[in-house]
Structure 1
Amino acid sequence: MTTLDTRELPKVVLHDHLDGGLRPATVLELAQEQGYAALPASDVGTLAAWFADAADSGSLVRYLETFDHTVGVMQTEDALARVARECVVDLAEDGVVYAEVRYAPEQHLQRGLTLDQVVEAANRGFREGEEEAASAGRRIRVRVLPSAMRHAARAVEIAQLTVRHLGDQVAGFDIAGAEDGHPPTRHLAAFDYLRQHNAHFTIHAGEAFGLPSIWEAIQFCGAERLGHGVRIVDDIRLDGRPVTDDLAGAIRWAAVEPNAFELGPLAAYVKDRRIPLEMCPSSNVQTGAAESIETHPISLLKDLNFRVTLNTDNRLMSATSMSREAQLLVDRADWQLSDLRRVAVNAMKSAFLPFDERLEIIEGVLKPAYDVG
């Protein structure tokens, strides 16, 4: 077992949900301030445990239900700004140097805010968080991905909102929510609008649903990145058999002989085009998209040279952080420093940030820290 300590390594996260990363104490305080009476617990410890237990169900639908409470207390400008500020501070304290944080503005309108007011309030909090982190000696850059909910009908409106705010913390667009029954092609008009305005976007695909979701996201919608993308392994075979028949064995074999694997046409396309996979191990185990950290496809895909990135998804629901995700892979999947370096550089290469700024972080922050000794 490796003794590598991941806490002080610089990290990059591309897939972190604002409404999935609140501090339990903040949820309680905001609920009290706003008269939100639906919380399942009234003390910090019990509430934190409830979120983790409720999310640890093996069902994406059940997992998503936990957001009713976090979104429920994020309905005012001050609440949004506070949650955004604390998000940045918490990420910076965990060693994150660049983050893209996503949330769905359409879910924060219950108390009369407009979509633009939601974005402006959150942006204020993100900037305040960057300043607070810098004053504590932790430099972090945060960019935002407004998300449309795939089961709703506001994707074009959220795409237009994204374009209006590009450059003001906002870096791109996402669609989120339950995949099954809600294909990304329902929102083609939104993706066309984004492309016409030179806006970046990622799509949740291949988490709870399989290859058709990934195929539509890439070939019809034009996704630049895949949110999760874990089911791409369904298109990979070893000795004529699906690797999903024995992921543990496939992972061991990939480390020795990656050329022995046969990639189907979609997997080959994703690999050849270097389409980034925003992978979230703990979250995927919770929702049943992966069986365990040890057999999570991130290790197989890493060794097969897909562009994998490591992410938190929802820090509150998974009781996790970037350091914890990295440490789990070190302790339980035999990852080395070189593997963590690869996913950090992959993520920075794939960020929705100007090239020169990405290069500055790779060369000036990541490589000096990982290339020691």
Structure 2
Amino acid sequence: MRLFPHLMASQHTLLKLSEGSHTVCTAAEAVEAVLEGFRRAEREHGIMLRLVLACFRDKPEWAEEVVSLCHEYRDKCVVGMDVCGVFAPKRTETEGEEILHPDVIKAFQRAATLGVHRTAHAGEAGPATNVSRAIEELRTERIGHGYAAMREGGAPLQLALDRGIHFEVCPNSSYLTGAVSPGERHPMLCLRDLCASYSLNTDDPTITHTRISDEYQLALKLGFRPDDILESNRAAIEASFLSPEEKRELRNKFERLNASSSSSCCFYDSSPRKSVKNGDVSPSQLGPKSVVVSH
């Protein structure tokens, strides 16, 4: 789960956030409140929850405290940091949402030194070169969206492949935001074709009103096969910001559930790749529930 602690601590909404915004609690108190909710959910439902703390590009003053909070709560379910948001939208075509303030760059580099895991939104609305910047300057391990690099190929995509960068792709969101045009071949298909590391995510479900099953169904309609979705979930586990022990536990659980669901249906299909119409595949054929790495 991704959380903007400073935004949660404000009495204003994102659209109204301004210099004069008043806070109702500290960013640390906001993190504590969410973690208490996590603990309750884990007790009552037996699920595993982890938190990624995020800052906005146009609020660089938040970045250093986000790093400090990640480090302070590293043993209490906070596993990494993110940066997103639109900064100077009039320059989207040349720089997009990925304009990087020096304070944000400094914060991410400090995070890397402290061992705090890092992901960043890049190449969603801006150019592919911003994916390179996120990898080289922010030292990210994962990229949120990154469609421009997938679409254009070249050096930014090759850099991501060479570094083993994981892409957090969000099919429904990509259309809703205009990052991907309805008529084009979805850029994320190239990740599948290149056997790159990627996962399917919901982005912001409270805004897009999508569930992970909706992302699965759209991916199938776009040309993915059920086994592609399984592989994306395996990649999500490996790219997650979990400890080696937690990854091993999650990996074993995933494979057990997959073996159980596959035993009752013909899951693997050796036929050529083709689009699957909505309704042609039962939920059990999609394997166990997804591992959403961030979005």
Does the pair score TM above 0.5?
A: yes
Q: What is the aligned partner in structure 2 of residue 131 from structure 1? A: 43
- Give the unaligned 5+ runs of structure 1: 1-100, 135-139, 237-263
Q: What is the aligned partner in structure 1 of residue 48 from structure 2? A: 141
- C-alpha root-mean-square deviation of aligned residues, in Å? 1.8
Whichever residue aligns with residue 216 of structure 1, its letter is R
CA offset at residue 319 of structure 1? 1.7
Q: What is the aligned partner in structure 2 of residue 359 from structure 1? A: 248
| Aligned residues of 1:202 and 1:223 also touching (Cα < 8 A) | yes
| Aligned residues of 2:201 and 2:212 also touching (Cα < 8 A) | yes
Q: What is the aligned partner in structure 1 of residue 80 from structure 2? A: 172
| Aligned residues of 1:293 and 1:329 also touching (Cα < 8 A) | no
* Distance in 2 of aligned mates of 1:210 and 1:229: 9
1:254-273 to 2 correspondences below 5 Å: 264-273=154-163
* Distance in 2 of aligned mates of 1:360 and 1:283: 30
Question: Does 2:15 correspond to 1:103?
Answer: no
3-state DSSP of counterpart to 1:210: coil
* Distance in 1 of aligned mates of 2:54 and 2:75: 16
Question: Does 2:205 correspond to 1:315?
Answer: yes
1:2-13 to 2 correspondences below 5 Å: none
Question: Does 2:234 correspond to 1:345?
Answer: yes
- Give the unaligned 5+ runs of structure 2: 11-22, 88-95, 264-295
3-state DSSP of counterpart to 1:317: helix
Whichever residue aligns with residue 337 of structure 1, its letter is P
Whichever residue aligns with residue 157 of structure 1, its letter is E
Q: What is the aligned partner in structure 2 of residue 188 from structure 1? A: 105
- The superposition leaves residues 279-315 of structure 1 with CA deviations (integer Å, 9 ceiling, x where unpaired) of 0010110011112398322222211212111100011
Whichever residue aligns with residue 67 of structure 2, its letter is A
CA offset at residue 126 of structure 1? 1.4
* Distance in 2 of aligned mates of 1:316 and 1:120: 21
Q: What is the aligned partner in structure 2 of residue 228 from structure 1? A: 145
3-state DSSP of counterpart to 1:309: strand
* Distance in 2 of aligned mates of 1:181 and 1:268: 22
CA offset at residue 328 of structure 1? 1.7
| Aligned residues of 1:210 and 1:234 also touching (Cα < 8 A) | no
Q: What is the aligned partner in structure 2 of residue 217 from structure 1? A: 134
Question: Does 2:205 correspond to 1:326?
Answer: no
The structure-2 alpha-carbon separation of the partners of 1:343 and 1:123, relative to structure 1 and needing over 3 Å to count, comes to same
The structure-2 alpha-carbon separation of the partners of 1:208 and 1:294, relative to structure 1 and needing over 3 Å to count, comes to closer
| Aligned residues of 2:85 and 2:97 also touching (Cα < 8 A) | no
* Distance in 1 of aligned mates of 2:97 and 2:185: 27
- When the two structures are superposed, what TM-score results if normalisation uses the length of structure 2? 0.76
Larger RCO, structure (CA 8 Å, separation 6 or more):
1
Q: What is the aligned partner in structure 2 of residue 202 from structure 1? A: 119
Whichever residue aligns with residue 317 of structure 1, its letter is I
- When the two structures are superposed, what TM-score results if normalisation uses the length of structure 1? 0.61
Whichever residue aligns with residue 308 of structure 1, its letter is Y
Q: What is the aligned partner in structure 2 of residue 121 from structure 1? A: 33
CA offset at residue 167 of structure 1? 1.4
CA offset at residue 127 of structure 1? 1.4
